[in-house]
Structure formats: C-alpha cells, structure tokens
C-alpha cells in the first residue's frame, strides 16, 4: 500500500481548522452590549453593576492598560432554538496563544453572583442544554485589560509593567458578542479527531496501530460532508469508535492528571490582579467540577484561598463545598509557592506553619506534600523543614529547565543537610501547564528516567502562570485517554493518591544528596536588591519583635501581639513568592513591595519599642538589647544589659601610598591609596588573609545581557569581560576613636557613584564594610571581590538551619554550572585550623573560584565575590536604579562557628537604649553550636513559650536550655507546635532541659510556665 500518511494528516488539519471547528456554533444572533469604564482601581461588584453604561459594538477598542471595563450584555434566545444547546460566545479580543497573559473577565448575573470566567481558552457561557426558546439573558462582565508584557517577541523593555508609566491607549478590540447554538456532536467530533490525530503523530510509523488510526481518521473525514458538517458529524464519529475503544497495553505508562492552574501570586501583574485571577479561575474550576464527576482539581498557596475568602466569599463557599467532597484539593501546605533559596530559616518554616494551619482550620485538611512546580531551585535545608511540618512528599517541575545537565531521576528520595529524606517527583511531562496533548504524553513516556522500576507519573493539567486552569476540552481528552491503545493511561487523581501509589511501587528509589540546583535563573539571587533587603530586614525585625514581646509577656505581663505578628508574618511570606523575592516581577510589584516593607518595618519597630519599654521602664542606665543568638559585648543572647568594652583600643597610621593602616590588637588592616584592602593580617595566627599581589573589597563590573530571561538569568559568558573599579575620588579618615576607626572611600564609574566606610572596631576580628551605591547603569553586573590566600577545594554557604558545601573547582559539568549560587548570612573558606568568612546583611548571590599562583610559593588564591547589583531591563526597565546600601564584613581567622556568630551579628545589630536595669534572657542555651532562631509565645494563646533552635556547626551537640521562668513542662513539637515523636529526647531538671542534637537538627520546644500562664 502506498504511504499516504502526509496526505491524510494534512487533510485532517485543514478540515478541522476550516470546516469542523467553525461548525461548532452553526447559528448565532448578536447580543446588545454596553460598557462602563471604572476610574482608577477595580471597584466593588455592586458599583460596577449600578454604573451607567454606554452602548458599544463589536470592533470597538477598549481597555487602557490595567483598567477595568464593565460590559453589560443582553439578548433573547430565538424561539426556534427551543430544545437545542445554547451558549453565549464572548470574545473580548483574545489571542488564544496567551491564556493568563492578557485580558480576562469574570461574568456576573444581574444580582452580582458570579457565573464563570472568560479567557482566551474559555470564551463561552452556557445558557441552557436544552433551552426552552425565548429566554432573556443578561450578564455583567468585569473585564480586566491587562496588557501583554511577555509578547511573542519576549524580553523587550516595556513601560506597560506599571500603571504609572503604562499610558492609556486601548489594548483590545471586542471581537464577538453573540448568542449561539452549540452543536455537541460537532464538539465531540473535534475532541475525537484531536486525540487521534495527536496520538497518530507519536506512534511508530512501522507499527500497525498508527495505520489503524490513520485509516479510521481517513474514513471519518470521508464521512463528513463539508457543506453539511453538522448533519454528518455523527456519521464521522461512528467511523472512529472502534479505534477509540481499543484498550491500552498492559505495560502502558500510568499518568495521574491533576487539574491545575499554577497562578503566580504576582509576576507580570500586580498583587491586586492576582486576587481577581484566583476568583476567575476558581469560578471556572468549581463549575467544571460540577459538570465532570471524575475531574479533580488542586490549588496550592493558602494566601490565594485567603484572598478568595476575603474578596469573593460567594466563590469561596463553592470552593469549600468542593473541598469537602474531596475533589478541590488544597495542595502544598505553604502560604505561597515561595522561593526556597533566599527565605531565612524561620521564614521557610513559617511558610509551612501558616499554610498548613490555614488548610487545617478552614478545611480540616492535613497536607503531606509540598507543591512547588515553578520554584527556581531548592535549598538543601528544605527536606528537614518539610518533615518537621508533617510533609513527606515534594513535587516540582522547574529542574527540567536546567541548561547543562539533565537530572538523572524523575522519582527519587531527596536528602537534605541533616540526613532527612523526602520522596520527590519531577513530572516527566516537563510542564506544569499540561494540556494532555498527544505530544506531551508521548514525551512523558519517552522522558521518564525510571522505566523498568516505576511506571507512574503526574501531569499538572491546565493553563497556568496567569491562571485559567483546566478546560472542558482537557477533560474530554482525559476521558478518551483513560484506556487507549498506543497512549499512556490517564486518570484524574489527587496528589496524595498519586504519591502514595508512586512511593509504594518504588520503595528503593534512588537518593539525591544536597541542594536541587537549577542551572538557570541564577540572576534572581541579585535582581531587585531593594526587595531582597526588605525581605532580610523584615525577617530580622520579626525575630526581634517575637523575642522581645515574649520576654516582656513573661517578665511583666506585657500583652503579646498575636494578631499583629500573624498578619505581618503573612505579609512577609507573601513577598517571598518565587517571582517577588527573586526580582522577576514587573515594576508595579516591586514598587509596592518597597512601600510594604517600609510599613512592615515601621510597625515592627513599634512592637519592639513597646516591648523594650515595658521591660526596662524608666531610667537612664545605658543598655544594649542583644537579639542575636550569641553573647556580645558582655551582653548575653536575648538579654538587655550595659555593654562591656572588649580588647585594646584601635589605632590608625598613614601609609606611604596615601592609604591607612588600622590595628586593634587582633587584626592589622592595610587600605591603600586606591581605597582597596591590600592586607588583612591575623595577628594571633601570624597569617595574611589577602592573596599576594591582590586587593580585596575590589569592586568589579561586568556586561550583563543574557540570551533571554533578563531579570532571571546570568549567563556564563558575563565573566569574559570585567572592569576593576580601582580609581578612587577620595580616600580619607572618617570617624576616629578608641572604639573604632573608619576609612571612607568614594568612587565614580559610568553614571554611578559608590561611597564605602571601612571600619575596624575594638575587640572585633572583622573589617566592616558599609557600601552605598547610587546606581544608574543598565545591563551591568556589580560584584565585590575578595581574593584570599586560602587553599580550599570546597567552601561553606549558609542555608536554612545550617550550611552546605560546594566545590571551588570545576571538575564536572555539574560543578561548573554552579557559577553563581546562593548563601544567606555567610560564605566560609578554610584550611584545617584557619579560615576566612564573608558575612553580609542583605545579599544572596555570590561566586567562588580558585587559581594557583605562578609566583614562587605556588599558593592557591580562593576568590569570593559577593553579587551586589544588576540592571536588567525586562520585565522592569528601571530595575535597581537609584540608591542602595549593603553591609558586609571580612572575618579573618574564622572557623564555621565564627562565621555563624558574625553572620547573626551583622544582621541583628545591637539596640542601644536607656532603662532602669538589666533584663536577663527568657531562655538561655549553654552551647554556641546550638543556635536559637525563634523565641515566641505559642500560637494557640496558651501562654506557653516556644523556642526553635538547631545545631549550626555541622556536628553533634549536647545542649542545655535554661528558662528564666519556673518551668512546669517541656515537650518537643513539630513546626505547628504539636507534640512530635521525631523530636530529641528531653531530660528536664528544674528549669533546665538537656538534649542531644545531630548535625543541623531542628528542634522546636514548647515550654509550659508554672503558675497558670494559660
């Protein structure tokens, strides 16, 4: 037989596109349309309904960027349509290629109740099936004219990303506003042919199944009368029944489809628009659940449920009902789908605390999975945090985006820094916006790396990013693919059911140890520095507010601000969403974030001030409030006491090159006439820190124009061109005194200016560097380099509740791909017995490289560079323009313990206040290896004191915690403050609790106070 595959396949495409799909709505009548444009921001539904509307017509332009237009559509079903299925077709000017990325609408009845949403892949509203004929219809469309930011030609700078700069030009034209007859048989024929056509394209050419499908499709096309499609659709479907009924083979891969709409809590739209996107999507999904009994839909992010509850309670009621039925699944158990690289230890824990508690309180649902399909890599401390929150499974998709190395597993156990293992799945379909197309499913089968030992994967199914969710077409495809020869089987399933089945079938899944590094989007560790600084400052202020408020509550009965802290934590957690904190959102998002962080800081400062005043009362004794987890200046951790001067006074002397030498008995620092650190000599060790012939605190600037994903990416070739900023406008002494000496350095480059203060303080083994940058470069990358005379094959970088090690060499492609990585408060490099730490108060991105010198000693230079600023132009064309401040410090002679201590110290500066007397800590720990990350009152209002701590040095530690109150009981709990059998054994004696911690172990203690604190 002749090979006519190409002929039949081309025929199928044309007939579908030009004859069958257009026959879906064979008869239509226009609707009457009127519009009202809301001034400014969106208005309440009642106001939109009551406004005076003006007639408009199909073809009219509408919608200024970020505006809201209320369309009123009215009409009457023709009497002759009685007994038929009728829908309204409402096309606002959609581009079907961009669901979630352009205009959308929520349809309301005249009484204001929501019906469903409209988007480029969901343009219909059902009137009746069947109709009586003669019905009058009226709907009100709350239409959002969200501009297209990421267009067909992506990554072009645009001012559309902020309402303040977007202008007022209409973005769309009304395309269709009709009542129409919906031909169900034609619609079903479209689904039949799409499923078979897509399947056919993936089947082996030399296999009989492909030819069986091809011949059946050919017969169906023969049965269609192209001038009478509606009359002949049934006959065409008859030709396809046999091939659609052929069952899948016994070895077919099994796919669990989970209805899904990954809705970014902010990205190319502001937070307020996400509130509406959630309402639109959930309106459609609850309606689809009502129509399709087998369909299951999952939505993560407790914040989005909370928005729905607050802003659209009538939609939320539908969601709660569907949740109770087990078909609308709250997934993930986190407040938002956060970044996991940059949130601090407590913040990462609180993502689960607040997310899981919301789902428990609202729905009675206990999540056992983390659902993070789009997060940009996963920190090595996450498995233990998940386990302590009661989660045991993880789903993500993004690692499939890695540029260099293909991850070797799709189903595996992920081991974190403390040894905790989490069963993890990467869907081999390689998308979190699956449409259940034949190509996607065939890719999942081919791509699945665990064949032979597992045969089960998950497919998050629906339009996402900007929302939309699963469509009726996707559900129709799933119905046909449930058991179809040549295809994997597809079954709608809850995530927990998938994970339980997958784990049971693969008990010996392989293990991956350490971080799940995404070989892409490395620039997100630096972009939008103000947002990152706001996050870090908020995290530290929240720690202080809880500590001092709990101390004041215990010591003097000061009211504990439960509600305020709960609200402020949720605000900070929201802004850790994986496009806000990483800096990949539009300008509007980051402008609002800056204002939000300022408001959060002001409120937290008020709570801290109120608690400290309650603790200290009146008096003029100079006190230091030490919120860091280690003693400093004679003040215990968590205490208020007069400071004690430490060490000899600081001296300064001029250098011949125009610089200065600073000495404090511990370090001798040489700053040359260029303002560079050419020596950092450890006097006790008799050892130089700076590599021979090199200079530290060297600012370097690179061109930064990645191939795509501007705010997200830093491509390796950026390192090929570098300019050292060695010219100084001024190098002078600043403050000089017995307790500290400061050298001030100023530089100009391009259109920017840098002012630095280099300070050596009394009794401190560190050089503090306070850097202020007035940044006006574009597409440039600014780094601060510290070439160190250290031979190190690996370095330590702080992560949540500990640190991990990364190689300094590039032996393998896996290591070489980590040319930009994340650290929290410190990076440490060392040889046995001596090392150097770099600590910071607002930075995350860095790189570490090593070279062997060609001089006589053939020593190794290990260079640590802190990433300060970038200047991408998409999606925010003004990214990071303006003033910034960074504080970092060089700590010679540091071990890991020193790095941990100094990292906390720079992030939690002492507060100097006056008061009546010193205040001892409410809890104290006797081992510096055991770091307290939180002291608070229990969330249930019982008055119990909750302390979270962890082993921070990477070894075993025996620690004794002593309370500053009479202790009636102590219990180890999970993160949600519930008794937990996986906690350490506690040996309580009086007001002390002894425990033994394994390396990096997290422990949460609930301490009951004697005397009826409850």
Structure tokens at 119: 């988007």
Q: Which residue has the tokens 């780094």?
A: 783
From 661, 906, 697, select the one nearest 788 (Cα to Cα). Answer: 697
| Strands (E) located in 666-779 | 667-671, 677-682, 687-688, 698-703, 723-725, 730-736, 740-749, 752-761, 767-775
CA distances from 614 to 619, 858, 921 (A): 12, 60, 15
CA distance 84 to 24: 13
- Which residues 6+ apart lie within 8 Å of 110 measured at CB? 49, 138, 140
Q: Which residue has the tokens 């009586």?
A: 132
630, 618 contact by CB (below 8 A)? no
Side-chain half-sphere of 165: how many Cα atoms within 13 Å? Answer: 13
3-class secondary-structure state, position 347: helix
Whether 982 is a known active-site residue: answer no
Beta-sheet strand order (sheet of 723-725): 723-725, 698-703, 780-788, 860-869, 845-852, 821-822
Kindly give the pairing relationship between strand 621-625 and strand 911-915: antiparallel
CA distance 73 to 92: 12
Q: Looking at 264, 374, 715, 847, which residue is catalytic?
A: 374
CA distance 581 to 823: 15
∠ CA 696-700-705, nearest 5°, is 155
CA distances from 743 to 443, 747, 922, 929 (A): 61, 13, 39, 34
CA distance 466 to 474: 18
| Strands (E) located in 776-894 | 780-788, 794-799, 802-807, 821-822, 826-831, 834-840, 845-852, 860-869, 882-892
DSSP 717: G
Structure tokens at 832: 């046995």
296, 492 contact by CB (below 8 A)? yes
Structure tokens at 540: 């530290």
Catalytic residues: 374
């Amino acid at each position: 037989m002749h090979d006519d595959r190409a002929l039949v396949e081309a025929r199928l495409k044309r007939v579908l596109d030009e004859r069958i799909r257009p026959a879906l709505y064979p008869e239509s009548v226009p609707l009457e349309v009127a519009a009202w444009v809301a001034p400014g921001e969106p208005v309440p539904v009642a106001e939109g309904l009551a406004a005076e509307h003006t007639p408009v017509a199909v073809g009219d332009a509408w919608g200024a960027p970020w505006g809201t237009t209320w369309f009123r559509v009215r009409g009457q079903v023709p009497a002759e349509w009685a007994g038929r299925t009728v829908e309204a077709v409402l096309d606002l000017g959609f581009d079907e290629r961009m669901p979630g990325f352009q205009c959308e609408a929520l349809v309301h009845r005249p009484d204001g109740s929501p019906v469903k949403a409209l988007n480029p892949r969901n343009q219909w509203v059902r009137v009746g099936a069947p109709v009586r004929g003669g019905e009058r219809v009226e709907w009100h469309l709350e239409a959002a004219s969200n501009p297209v930011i990421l267009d067909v030609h992506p990554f072009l700078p645009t001012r559309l990303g902020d309402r303040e700069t977007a202008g007022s030009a209409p973005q769309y034209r009304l395309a269709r506003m009709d009542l129409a007859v919906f031909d169900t048989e034609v619609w079903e024929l479209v689904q039949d042919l799409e499923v078979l056509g897509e399947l056919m394209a993936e089947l082996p050419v030399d296999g009989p199944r492909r030819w069986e499908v091809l011949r059946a499709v050919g017969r169906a096309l023969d049965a269609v009368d192209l001038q009478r499609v509606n009359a002949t659709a049934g006959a065409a479907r008859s030709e396809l029944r046999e091939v659609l009924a052929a069952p899948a083979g016994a070895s077919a891969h099994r796919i669990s489809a989970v209805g899904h709409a990954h809705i970014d809590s902010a990205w190319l739209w502001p937070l307020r628009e996400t509130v509406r996107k959630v309402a639109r999507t959930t309106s459609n999904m609850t309606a689809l659940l009502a129509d399709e009994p087998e369909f299951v839909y999952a939505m993560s992010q407790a914040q989005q449920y909370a928005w729905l509850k607050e802003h659209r309670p009538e939609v939320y009621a539908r969601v709660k009902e569907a949740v109770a039925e087990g078909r609308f699944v709250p997934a993930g158990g986190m407040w938002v789908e956060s970044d996991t690289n940059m949130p601090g230890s407590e913040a990462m824990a609180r993502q689960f605390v607040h997310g899981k508690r919301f789902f428990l309180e609202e729905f009675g649902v206990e999540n056992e999975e983390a659902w993070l399909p789009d997060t940009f890599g996963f920190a090595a401390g996450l498995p233990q945090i998940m386990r302590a929150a009661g989660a045991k499974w993880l789903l993500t998709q993004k690692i499939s985006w890695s540029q260099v190395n293909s991850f070797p597993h799709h189903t595996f156990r992920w081991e974190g820094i403390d040894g905790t293992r989490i069963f993890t799945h990467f869907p081999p379909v390689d998308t979190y916006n699956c449409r259940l197309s034949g190509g996607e499913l065939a890719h999942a089968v081919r791509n699945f790396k665990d064949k032979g030992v597992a045969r089960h994967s998950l497919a998050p199914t629906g339009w996402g990013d900007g929302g939309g969710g699963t469509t009726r077409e996707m559900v129709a495809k799933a119905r046909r693919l449930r058991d179809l020869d040549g295809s994997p089987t597809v079954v709608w399933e809850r995530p927990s059911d998938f994970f339980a089945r997958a784990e049971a079938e693969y008990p010996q899944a392989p293990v991956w140890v350490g971080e799940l590094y995404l070989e892409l989007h490395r620039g997100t560790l630096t972009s939008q520095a103000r947002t990152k600084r706001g996050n870090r400052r908020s995290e530290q202020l929240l720690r202080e507010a809880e500590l001092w408020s709990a101390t004041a509550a215990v010591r003097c009965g000061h009211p504990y601000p439960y509600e305020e802290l709960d609200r402020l934590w949720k605000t900070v957690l929201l802004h850790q969403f994986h496009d806000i904190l990483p800096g990949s959102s539009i300008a509007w998002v980051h402008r609002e974030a800056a204002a939000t962080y300022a408001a959060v800081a002001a409120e937290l400062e008020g709570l801290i001030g109120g608690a400290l005043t309650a603790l200290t009362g009146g008096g003029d004794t100079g006190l230091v409030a030490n919120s860091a987890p280690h003693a400093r200046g004679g003040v215990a951790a968590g205490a208020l006491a007069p400071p004690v001067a430490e060490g000899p006074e600081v001296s300064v002397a001029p250098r011949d090159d125009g610089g200065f030498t600073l000495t404090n008995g511990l370090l001798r620092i040489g700053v040359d006439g260029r303002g560079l650190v050419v020596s950092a000599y450890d006097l006790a060790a008799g050892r130089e820190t700076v590599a021979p012939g090199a200079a530290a605190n060297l600012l370097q600037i690179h061109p930064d124009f990645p191939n795509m994903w501007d705010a997200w990416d830093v491509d390796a070739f950026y390192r090929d061109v570098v300019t050292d900023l060695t010219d100084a406008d001024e190098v002078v002494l600043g403050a000089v005194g017995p307790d500290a000496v400061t050298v001030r350095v100023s530089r100009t480059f391009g259109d920017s200016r840098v002012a630095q203060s280099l300070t050596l303080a009394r009794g401190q083994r560190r050089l503090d560097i306070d850097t202020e940058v007035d940044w006006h470069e574009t597409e440039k990358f600014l780094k601060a380099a510290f070439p160190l005379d250290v031979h190190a094959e690996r370095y330590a970088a702080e992560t949540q509740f500990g640190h991990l090690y990364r190689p300094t060499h590039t032996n393998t492609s896996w290591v070489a791909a980590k040319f930009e990585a994340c650290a929290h408060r410190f990076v440490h490099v060392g040889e046995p017995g001596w090392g150097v730490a770099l600590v910071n108060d607002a930075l995350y991105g860095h790189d570490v490289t090593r070279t062997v010198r060609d001089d006589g000693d053939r020593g190794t230079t290990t260079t640590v560079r802190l990433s300060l600023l970038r200047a991408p132009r998409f999606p925010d064309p003004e990214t990071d323009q303006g003033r910034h401040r960074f504080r970092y410090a060089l700590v010679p002679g540091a071990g890991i313990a020193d790095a941990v201590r100094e990292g906390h110290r720079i992030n939690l500066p002492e507060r100097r206040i006056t008061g009546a007397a010193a205040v001892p800590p409410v809890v104290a720990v006797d081992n510096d290896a055991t770091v307290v990350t939180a002291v608070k009152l229990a969330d249930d209002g019982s008055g119990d004191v909750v302390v979270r701590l962890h082993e921070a040095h990477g070894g075993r530690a025996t620690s004794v915690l002593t309370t500053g109150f009479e202790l009636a009981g102590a219990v180890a709990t999970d993160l949600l403050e519930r008794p937990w059998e996986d906690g350490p054994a506690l040996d309580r004696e009086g007001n002390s609790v002894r425990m033994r911690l394994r390396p990096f172990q997290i422990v949460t203690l609930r301490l009951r106070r004697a005397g009826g604190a409850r």
